[in-house]
Structure 1
């Protein structure tokens, strides 16, 4: 959290970072407090951001993220190119299943959802496009963690792992062999590990060089008789299609993403 002695850039970034999914609109006082800057500083910088379009003001005088910032963010190459290549296959997966379809990438020690298609009657999920989540519980997260560099895996396992349900893997001694199994079998299953009513099946998406660039998943209502094999097949088919669209054309072994 910056102080008034921080650079202008740090203060501007702190103001933008003050907004969250739980707090999409803020008063000037809330914005200053959450960003850790003085009220006059927040007023000046917020006015500049409004002029540029990064922030907007509501009729009640509250601040929210502006469309200009969304336009710039949409140009991020990892998300934009991946999303464009993946979307036809995600849509096909949704049409076939009418369930929640998700696409995610790893960013540091977390994952970021870059696309999501929600089934109207599907099980509710705790995800949104642009949202971050831990790597150790969701289907896409487990795939991304399994194929992450060893130092990333160890950094994740060295931190406290949140427990979302009684099925969440939070013990490194249990998680390590689970990650090895995911690498060997080419998919991950998160069965009621995030919410008690959801099952996720995920598979890796490969780039041109055969490295894992992303993960795609299907989230359905958990049940003891869920057609897991059929779900695995359709998810892996979608993942292979996205991989081909990204330029992966030869059967190289899956390698860890090193970027």
Structure 2
């Protein structure tokens, strides 16, 4: 039931409070939290006290607020994302051991890319440069190779919904023309992978392949990130496809990811 000037329900306001925390701002004061959540200070105070009581928000000794471990505990109990991550992790480790690149696992959620896991590569040239693809981070679906793979194997209705926009420019090379994106989606379905440089971060290229689940529906995407100019698809792709095939099989797919067609 709504009981606020904005018409938000209590749950809606709680979600706004929790959504105010992110990687750049993992903790903040009560006033800062109220400001980021666009809630009156008195409303934020009342809700935060309840959330602290049940461990969904924690208060540091210095008064800073952060998301509580209780929230993680509740989410982890029945999360399909956690199950997918646990299945995929050994295969991701194989990819990283083979190609020595950042390796990520992501899904399509509410029209955006949501990263479930990222394995770092300390010996990579991107170690100090890459600030994307973190666990629980989101990205516009059209702005990454991972997102375009997820979109390519999604139902056409969802594709059209995404392409209807707005499509923001993340870098100067992010593709925002729906017709150009459609061509890329067709090529991805034909080749079985995407490797488009500079669309998310101009200095790197994501090489992404699909992971399928039951009914051979798209379940996730596996990606290796390489410095732009050092992209070696023939070297990186076999490890990604082998891992994606193994994850797909473990998820109950009838067959592994689409293999790239020889030209």
Structure 2 unmatched runs, 5+: none
State which of 224, 227, 236 in structure 2 corresponds to 1:231.
Answer: 236
Q: Which SS does the other structure have where 2:167 is aligned?
A: coil
Give the count of matched residue pairs: 253
2:58–2:68: 8 Å Cα contact kept in structure 1? Answer: yes
In the alignment, which of 170, 178, 181 is matched to residue 184 of structure 2?
178
Counterpart-to-counterpart distance in 2, 1:196 and 1:245: 34
What is residue 121 of structure 1 aligned with on the other side? 123
Alignment CA distance shift 1:61-1:201 (3 Å): same
TM-fit CA distance, 1:47: 1.1
Given that residues 112 and 141 in structure 2 are in contact (C-alpha distance below 8 angstroms), is that contact kept between their aligned partners in structure 1? Answer: yes
1:78 and 2:83 are equivalent in the alignment: no
Tell me which residue corresponds to 2:250: 245
The residue aligned with 2:220 is: 214
1:257 is aligned to none
The structure-2 alpha-carbon separation of the partners of 1:55 and 1:251, relative to structure 1 and needing over 3 Å to count, comes to closer
Q: Which runs of 5+ in 1 are unaligned?
A: 255-259
Determine the structure 2 residue equivalent to 1:21.
23
TM-superposed CA distance for 1:184, in Å, is 1.3
Do the aligned residues in 1 keep the contact of 2:215 with 2:254 (CA within 8 Å)?
Answer: no
Decide whether the 8 Å contact of 2:34 with 2:44 is kept in 1: yes
- Superposed counterparts of 1:1-150, under 5 Å: 3-4=4-5, 6-122=8-124, 123=126, 124-150=130-156
CA distance in 2, matches of 1:250, 1:196: 34
d(CA) in 2 for partners of 1:187, 1:251: 13
CA contact (8 A) 2:211 2:222 kept: yes
CA distance in structure 2 between the partners assigned to 1:152 and 1:44 by the alignment: 39
* Whole-Å separation in 2 of the counterparts to 1:209 and 1:128: 29
Query: Does the CA-based 8 Å contact 1:3-1:37 persist in structure 2?
Result: no
RMSD: 2.1
* Residues 143 and 64 of structure 1: CA distance in aligned 2, closer, same or farther (over 3 Å): same
C-alpha distance in structure 2 between counterparts of 1:6 and 1:160, whole Å: 25
Q: Secondary structure at the match of 1:229?
A: helix
Whole-Å separation in 2 of the counterparts to 1:252 and 1:181:
15
